[in-house]
Amino acid sequence: MSTSKHSDLILDQFTRQAVPFATAPSIKDESALKLIVEFSGAGPGDTVLDVACGPGLVAAAFARVARHVTGIDLTPAMIDRARALDHEPAGGRACLRIAQQLAELPDRAVAGPDGLDRGLRQLRAPRARW
């Protein structure tokens, strides 16, 4: 199978799963989302990047506690679901941005005020917080 056909197949499958996945009780479980956020240790000064954010539920959960949250996903149907959350209040704490590609975002949206390059270097640093 060619790379193009494989990519098309993946996109098709994730598009078909967008609504069932986004509305599944387990993915919307507030206690599970809270546990993910608490376990991460994210707080008011943090910037969060949710890669493959799907319907944006985890990104929205982080937006309740972090300074800035960005979610990206390659599937337009998932992005549509996530962008609906982008307009919901995040508890007045974070800026929540959702995009299909990093190119859609200003440099600061992903890595905070110091830019994407510094943010990515920080992820590779030996003491990076995960």
Residue 96 has pLDDT above 90, yes or no: no
H/E element holding 71?
Answer: strand 68-72
Residue 41 within a domain: yes
Question: Using alpha carbons only, how large is the chain's radius of gyration in Å?
Answer: 15
CA distance 80 to 72: 11
Q: Which two tokens stand for residue 90?
A: 């995040």
* Cβ atoms 36, 61 nearer than 8 A: yes
pLDDT for the residue numbered 49? 86
Residue 112 within a domain: yes
Residue 50 within a domain: yes
Backbone angles phi, psi at 36, to 5 degrees: -60, -45
Mean pLDDT of 11-23: 91
CA distance 91 to 34: 14
Split at pLDDT 50, 70, 90, the class of 130 is very low
Number of domains in the chain: 1
**Domain range for residue 108?**
3-124
Mean pLDDT of 30-57: 91
The CATH number for 96's domain is 3.40.50.150
Residue 130 within a domain: no
| Closest of 93, 38, 91, 30 to residue 57, by C-alpha | 30
CA distance 130 to 41: 9
Judged on CB neighbours under 10 Å (0-12, 13-18, 19+), 115 is: middle
Residue 129 within a domain: no
Residue 46 within a domain: yes
CA distance 106 to 118: 14
pLDDT: which is higher, 126 or 38: 38
